[in-house]
């Protein structure tokens, strides 16, 4: 998948199947279109690896968690 240059720890798919979110070992969360695998957003919100991600049913919120400290 374009835009992934580190180990993917977790991922989530939107309920409508249009989006995929991935969390990686560097603390970044990346949002892609599912069909085209086009990177549409990046956030670096965690100090350590992201352990869980989820997209809200209306595709407006991404929840994420880590196990760092």
CA distances for 5 relative to 14, 25, 26, 51, angstroms: 22, 10, 10, 17
pLDDT score recorded for residue 69: 60
Residue 62 DSSP label: E
pLDDT per residue as tens digits for the range 10-31: 999 999 999 999 999 999 999 9
Q: Distance of alpha carbon 62 from its chain centroid, rounded?
A: 8
pLDDT score recorded for residue 67: 83
pLDDT score recorded for residue 6: 73
Task: Report the alpha-carbon distance of residue 40 to residue 22 in Å, rounded.
Answer: 12
pTM above 0.75, yes or no: yes
pLDDT per residue as tens digits for the range 27-45: 999 999 999 999 999 999 8
């Amino acid at each position: 998948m374009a835009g992934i240059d580190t180990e993917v720890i977790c991922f989530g798919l939107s309920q409508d199947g249009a989006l995929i979110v991935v969390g990686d070992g560097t603390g970044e969360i990346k949002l892609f279109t599912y069909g085209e695998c086009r990177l549409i957003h990046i956030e670096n919100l965690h100090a350590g690896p992201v352990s869980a991600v989820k997209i809200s049913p209306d595709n407006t919120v991404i929840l994420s968690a880590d196990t760092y400290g």
